[in-house]
Amino acid sequence: MQTISDRDAFSVGGFPLLFVWLVTMGVAALFLWPLIIPIAVVGLLFASGFTIIQPNDAKVVTFFGRYVGTLKKSGFLYTVPFSSKTRIPLKLVNFVTDHLKVNDRNGNPIEIGAVVVWRVTDAAQASFNVDEYKTFVGNQSDSAIRALAAHYPYDSETEQSLRGNIDEVAEQLQTTLQVKLAVAGIHVDEARLTHLAYASEIAGAMLKRQQAVAIFQARRYMVENALAIIDEVMLHFDKSSGVAVSDDKKADLINSLLVVMTSEKESSPVLNVGR
């Protein structure tokens, strides 16, 4: 495949040439009126070189199938007559993918979607290196997201995951897309996940799993802190010379403190005031 990149096309300011063109056509119509028809045809053909470039736009100029160059300077210009000029926007484009149903690295079906912010930086590559650059962006984005989902687990406590490492995943997606889209002269400014969820057929089971993990972690946190408080209480009694606590009493005290501090219901402590 022939690879074509941007180069500047011939162009001059359009207003001076428009003035010359109008004067020439007026003089020809005044003094050569018998030849007005062929003169008008030639004048219209030369007028095909006039073009208008909007800000943040470019026009790819071809002359009978040969690439001449790219016009990027905005304004009213005159370029090669008899040429074809294809407009290529250089503005930022927001592309939001569909919610794709894929499998993560562990084989769990998930739904995933992303937004890709991109722009054309090489109008010639976007025109000639791919068939339709906007469709190319969409297809490559879907492909990159599917590959990304297969590379990471949905969630994990010990390694990088789609849910737990959002910034790293976004950076990896942007890097992958930039490599794929460089051939079309496209720069990816940002790529980020906008939707991430388990597929409907396993969402209920995974929700119960997440709830069980959350309850386990909460209870472990409560027990670890309760044990730390009990250690401080025991240390206090050991250092106090005026209080003698037997091992049986310490065991009862530890049991009571654990019940009070880890119980999900409000506890009613019983005070032993025996002789």
Condensed to tens digits (0 to 9), the pLDDT of residues 105-160 reads: 888 888 999 999 999 999 999 999 999 999 999 999 999 999 999 999 888 877 88
What H or E segment, with its residue span, contains residue 190? strand 186-198
* Confidence tier at 26 by pLDDT (50, 70, 90): confident
> Are the C-beta atoms of 201 and 165 separated by less than 8 Å?
no
* Distance of alpha carbon 177 from alpha carbon 146, whole angstroms: 12
Whether the full predicted model's pTM is greater than 0.75, yes or no, is: no
Across residues 234-261, what is the average pLDDT? 67
Q: Per the structure block, which two tokens stand in for 68? A: 């001449």
Give the type of residue at 159. Answer: E
Taking 80 as the threshold, does the pLDDT of residue 185 lie above it? yes
Name the band, by pLDDT with cuts 50, 70 and 90, for residue 179.
very high
What is the pLDDT at residue 116?
A: 96
Instruction: Answer whether 229's CB lies under 8 Å from 261's CB.
Output: yes
Say whether 53 sits in a helix, a strand or coil: strand
Q: Considering the chain, what percentage of its residues have pLDDT values greater than 90?
A: 45
Single out the residue of 48, 57, 59, 52 nearest to residue 77, CA to CA: 52
Q: Judge whether 63 and 28 are in contact, CB under 8 Å.
A: no
Checking if the pLDDT of 249 tops 70, the result is no
More confident of the two residues 201 and 128? 128
Averaged pLDDT of the chain: 83
